[in-house]
Chain A
């Protein structure tokens, strides 16, 4: 099994394997750019859909199991978005403020971009970048459906994003092998071979470094993936700490989690990497995620 190689660092590993067989909780996020949580609750109640508040954020609810969350008019009209609980965390950690400039370097399908816009109340400016033409449509549809009006879309190759632009916050939600989604979409693994995997690791490192290069002094960058592989996670962050003057931050976020891995195989990443956050499906009923937060020393202009 692919995950057997993670037995040494995933806590309660057998429980983790069992959790992969369970359905994830269907979670929806009320799009407060268009309606209030109370209004959506009332509308769906009239259709006998009873939402259960998750108690984490006022806009997060569990949709009834077996319900078709994507088949209501409220969904088509952008009153809510279907998004796994763990994929909210990178945005919460990035914590953009109203009127800031934010770069979302690998933006499709737009769940995190639209959450950024929601948290910023459609103010400030977001640049949503997506180089893959096939994935652009999904990004655009999400932004249109959710009424995002503070976002410009660009199509640069992320790792070559122009250095002349700088941002208050940068989100690098990197392409990854997708191991954390196995539970959500059986067979979600990219099935990457050693060759493709190595290429992916290089791209992730380059995305992270370029994201840091376009961060303003005093700004924050969040690096996230939906995979467990330390080579795609802590190794990329350790690489950034080696080649740039980046400061890894402690992370406060509301979901149960484990610390980052400090060594894997024969490679030692350093104790500091424990500041990263790993979200596992047996600790909270959602997809797996990795999140790291770094700041660039200096004062914001």
Chain B
């Protein structure tokens, strides 16, 4: 494997998700994990991974974490994919609350959860990432999600 996909980074990422969201590190075992610049990617291990990564790679897998101002921020993609395994720091919103969050960018937080990144779930569906800070819940949805919401709304 290329050196940027290494055990240390794998342990850092799986450790983050275990500590913050209660996702078992075992869930990450089938994947190789590495860091490119501020972004951490995971890609399924396979007999062909070396060849796949030997090409002129534009994106080397699914982005799972980003280092933002010294903090680790989970991507909406990983929280959506592994959301069913999250056992802590999950925040349940109604779809109306989610709509307000997407429109305004923030809503008041009355969850009682500790400050930091949370998984936002609405109607039982893992929707993405939020940040609890200073009594507010800030939406941390990717551009494509907000753009599609703006275009179509959420029913």
Q: Which residue numbers of A lie inside 8 Å of B, CB to CB?
A: 33-34, 43, 46-47, 68, 70-74, 76-79, 99-101, 122-127, 136-137, 140-141, 143-145, 147-156, 162, 165-166
Contacts and interface: CB of A to CB of B under 8 A. Distances in A.
Contacts of A100: 48
B44 A77 contact: no
Given A73-B123, A76-B149, A125 B49 contact: yes
A147 B77 contact: yes
B68 interface: no
Interface in B77-98: 77, 80-81, 95, 98
A73 B81 contact: no
Contacts of A150: 43-44, 46
B104 interface: no
By secondary structure, the B interface counts as: mixed
B30 to A, nearest CB: 8
Closest 6 CB pairs of A and B: A147-B81, A71-B152, A101-B48, A125-B48, A150-B44, A153-B59
Given A149-B42, A154-B58, 14 more contacts: A43-B125, A70-B152, A71-B153, A73-B125, A76-B149, A78-B81, A100-B48, A101-B47, A125-B48, A125-B51, A144-B75, A144-B144, A149-B62, A149-B81
Contacts of A74: 125
Nearest to B127: A77
B126 interface: yes
A34 B80 CA distance: 8
A125 B149 CA distance: 31
A143 B55 contact: no
B43 to A, nearest CB: 7
A77 B141 CA distance: 11
Contacts of B81: 33-34, 78, 147, 149
27 contacts: A33-B81, A34-B80, A34-B81, A43-B125, A73-B125, A76-B148, A78-B80, A101-B47, A101-B51, A123-B46, A124-B44, A124-B46, A125-B49, A136-B58, A137-B144, A145-B77, A145-B80, A145-B144, A147-B77, A149-B61, A150-B43, A152-B52, A152-B60, A154-B56, A155-B56, A165-B54, A166-B51
Contacts, number: 121
Contact of A144 (B49, B62, B125): B62
A153 B56 CA distance: 9
Given A33-B81, A124-B46, A76 B154 contact: yes
Chain B interface residue number, banded:
35 or more
Contacts of B124: 43
Contact of B43 (A71, A140, A145, A152): A152
Nearest to A156: B56
A94 to B, nearest CB: 16
B131 interface: no
A165 B55 CA distance: 8
B52 A127 contact: yes
